Amino acid sequence: MSRHELWRRIKKSKFFVIGAILVILIILLSVFAKQMAPFDPLKQNLRARLKEPTGQWSNFIFGGDAMGRDILSRLLIGSQVSLQISFTVVILTAVIGTVLGIVAGYFGSWVDTIIMRFSDIQVSIPPMVLAIAVMAALGNSITNLIMVLVFTRWVQYARVVRGSVMMIRNTDFIRASTVLGSGKLRIMFTQILPNVLTSLIIVMSQEFGRTIMTESALSFLGLGVPPPAPSWGVMIAEGREYLSTKPFVVLVPAIALMIAVLAFNFLGDGVRDVLDPKNKN
Amino acid sequence: MLKFIAKRLWHTVFVLIGVTMLTFLLLKLTSGSPARLLLSDTATEAQVYAKEVEMGLHDPLYVQYFHYIRDVLRGDLGTSYFFKVPNSRLISQSLPATGYLTMVAMGIALIVSIPLGIIAGMKRGSVTDLVAMFFAMLGQSISSVVLGLLFMLIFAVNLKWLPSMGYGGLAFVIMPATSLAMQMAALITRMLRSGMVDVLQEDYIAATYAKGISRREIVTKYALRNAILPVITIIGLQVGTFLGGAIVTEQIFAWPGIGSLTVQAIGNRDFSLVQSILLIISALFVGINLLVDIIYTLVDPRMSFN
């Protein structure tokens, strides 16, 4: 696809444009979270306990939580935590899934059988249930959370990549490469990898929103980011008690979560529209 | 077709063995001795050690795994460290509530998504289509945590139409079931829409138009049958998401199902119970997908040829 054609498709896709703008905004907010946050997100201030939103940036614009911490500051730093986790998870999962998918697809036979059988077992356990059980067994920390999320999502990539590899494995240019004496590793990573990159990017773009959502659900259950770190899931869980009296404590992180996931899903759909216009799914 | 089913059954057995290995290893990952949890707090090191030997915790791993499989096959899922009753009893007591919740949720998802998806696919670019797509996008982006709490805030706290939590009839089940159903409804709407769009462009649909068959008949008799096939598979696969989502939803609405039991078990560090729940949920999920695949071969005659 020429650069011109790519640009034309990007401009045509409303999803891509809206999603990209929102995602860039969210990333900027989280990168500069420390500079923008008016308070220390962990600092408790009893006088601001459950303080109603004031509408002034540096005076509890979104109110204070049950410990008198500034909700805005927690929201900003929390976005950093969520984004760092989901970026790490998506990239790690993509790398692991791709390597396994290429190896399975290229070597075939027993290597393929082992990897694919393992993926069969993996997908037969509902991911959220598995994540909950493993987090409970390991104890909650950010490292464990990342490991668990990678562990429950790699199959997605491995299957897509394996499918693409099997399609191009027997094409003439791969054969030509073998005849010219290229080693297996070289063929896998210099010839095959660039050819599966498109499908890979599409899957990755779809995974961000899902990862943010899963992370927040686990944190909500107390099995994700350990408190007092300000994760959106933790904030929602902590505010639940005050749902009937001070709903803003829950509403602010809940709406932020919704907007963030929506933005990443828009971008994900946009990326698919741009890279794979045949697929209207 | 029988060959396909036999192959599928063998595959299921294999997967279930793998699942038992995973659940077995999960329990080994937990820190702390299960023997200590079973004994009273005053037990000495020697007593704990004796109990561990009695429980077979010092046997080689493969022996322990073998014993585990033997017990599972006998229907013995172990004893809860905390409740001191068989895990199987605790699980069978909470399964009906989860079954009830997921069935209602599934019903809501299908009632909303099937007509919406069909109409959106038939009238691409129409207002209905735009509404359907907006609904689908929003539905996929709103987690059941957020949706559940929003519902609770609107319908229980502010409008006071529904009880905010607890177990019971329609008034109790409607909020948790709807918040659980949203993701699936969104997914099916999208799939059915794109399926309809694709099928309606096929040559055989053009041929039925040429024959002068009414549009209504074309849609119900020719297009829908093909567009709905992938939806059947998705329903099977989504049961897994449902069971996962149910844990969160049950926790929010204090619904006494398997999800609440899981959260309780984790709170009590009752890992034997967590392990059993994981095994049962996975077995259920595998069984449902086996059923879906068999139904698929019955519905779609093309499946039997390959």
d(CA B241, CA B9): 23
| pLDDT, average across residues B268-283 | 89
Give A255's contacts in chain B (Cβ within 8 Å): 146
Quick: pLDDT tens for B111-153: 999 989 988 888 887 888 888 888 888 888 888 889 998 988 8
ipTM: 0.85
Q: What pLDDT was estimated at residue A1?
A: 67
Quick: pLDDT tens for B234-253: 888 888 888 888 889 998 99
Cβ-proximal residues to A132 (8 Å cutoff; 6+ apart), any chain: A218, A221, A223, B244, B247, B262, B266
Does A120 contact B271 at a Cβ distance shorter than 8 Å? no
| pLDDT, average across residues A144-163 | 89
| pLDDT, average across residues A223-252 | 86
Q: What pLDDT was estimated at residue A122?
A: 85
- Average pLDDT over chain B reads 84
| pLDDT, average across residues A110-136 | 88
d(CA A2, CA A8): 10
Q: What pLDDT was estimated at residue B111?
A: 93
d(CA B173, CA B304): 40
The burial class, CB within 10 Å (0-12 / 13-18 / 19+), for B192 is: buried
Quick: pLDDT tens for B168-183: 777 788 899 999 999 8
Q: What pLDDT was estimated at residue B227?
A: 81
Does A128 contact B247 at a Cβ distance shorter than 8 Å? yes
A residues 221-240 closer than 8 Å to B (CB)? 221, 223, 233, 236, 240
| pLDDT, average across residues B200-207 | 82
Does B149 contact A139 at a Cβ distance shorter than 8 Å? no
Report the range of poorest mean pLDDT among A147-151, B128-132, B278-282: B128-132
User: What's chain A's Rg over C-alpha atoms?
Assistant: 22
Spatial contact of B248 and A220, defined as CB atoms under 8 Å apart: yes
pLDDT category, A278, cuts 50, 70, 90?
low
Q: Does A279 score more than 90 pLDDT? A: no
Beta-strand runs (E) in A147-276: none
Whether residue A46 lies within 8 A of chain B, CB to CB, comes out as no
Q: What pLDDT was estimated at residue A27?
A: 92
A275 φ/ψ angles, rounded to the nearest 5 degrees: -85, -25
pLDDT category, A238, cuts 50, 70, 90?
confident
Better pLDDT: A261 or A174 = A261
Which of A189-193, A239-243, B166-170, B279-283 is most confident? B279-283
B295 φ/ψ angles, rounded to the nearest 5 degrees: -60, -40
| pLDDT, average across residues A260-264 | 92
Residue type, A155: V
Give A133's contacts in chain B (Cβ within 8 Å): 26, 262, 274-275, 277-278
Distance from CA of B77 to the nearest CA of A (A): 16
Q: What pLDDT was estimated at residue B301?
A: 67
Quick: pLDDT tens for B8-64: 888 888 889 988 998 888 888 776 677 777 777 777 888 888 877 877 777 888 888
Distance from CA of B135 to the nearest CA of A (A): 12
Does B274 contact A133 at a Cβ distance shorter than 8 Å? yes
Q: Which of A121, A126, A262 sits opposite B18 (nearest CB)?
A: A121
Does A126 contact B281 at a Cβ distance shorter than 8 Å? yes
pLDDT category, B305, cuts 50, 70, 90?
very low
- With b for 16 or more beta-carbon neighbours within 10 A and e for fewer, the A112-150 pattern comes to beebbebbbbbbbbbbbbbbbbbbbbbebebebbbbbbb
pLDDT more than 70, % of chain A: 96
Distance from CA of A215 to the nearest CA of B (A): 11
Q: Which helix (H) or strand (E) holds B210?
A: helix B203-211
Spatial contact of A193 and A102, defined as CB atoms under 8 Å apart: yes
Q: Does B6 score more than 50 pLDDT? A: yes
Distance from CA of A122 to the nearest CA of B (A): 8
Q: Does A139 score more than 90 pLDDT? A: no
Structure tokens at B305: 């040829």
Q: What pLDDT was estimated at residue A149?
A: 92
Q: What pLDDT was estimated at residue B306?
A: 43
Quick: pLDDT tens for B55-96: 777 788 888 888 888 888 888 888 888 888 888 889 999 999
- With b for 16 or more beta-carbon neighbours within 10 A and e for fewer, the B60-83 pattern comes to eeeebbeebeeebeeeebbbbbbb
Q: Which of A16, A26, A120, A124 to mutate to test the interface with B (most CBs of B within 10 A)?
A: A124
Does A220 contact B263 at a Cβ distance shorter than 8 Å? no
What string of DSSP letters covers B19-38? HHHHHHHHHHHS-S-HHHHH
Q: Which of A133, A139, A220 sits opposite B26 (nearest CB)?
A: A133
pLDDT category, A281, cuts 50, 70, 90?
very low
Give A262's contacts in chain B (Cβ within 8 Å): 137-138, 141-142
Q: What pLDDT was estimated at residue B302?
A: 67
Quick: pLDDT tens for A48-79: 676 777 777 677 677 777 777 878 888 888 89
Q: Which helix (H) or strand (E) holds B186?
A: helix B170-200
Cβ-proximal residues to B266 (8 Å cutoff; 6+ apart), any chain: A132, A136, A223, B274
Q: Does A13 score more than 60 pLDDT? A: yes
Q: What pLDDT was estimated at residue A90?
A: 94
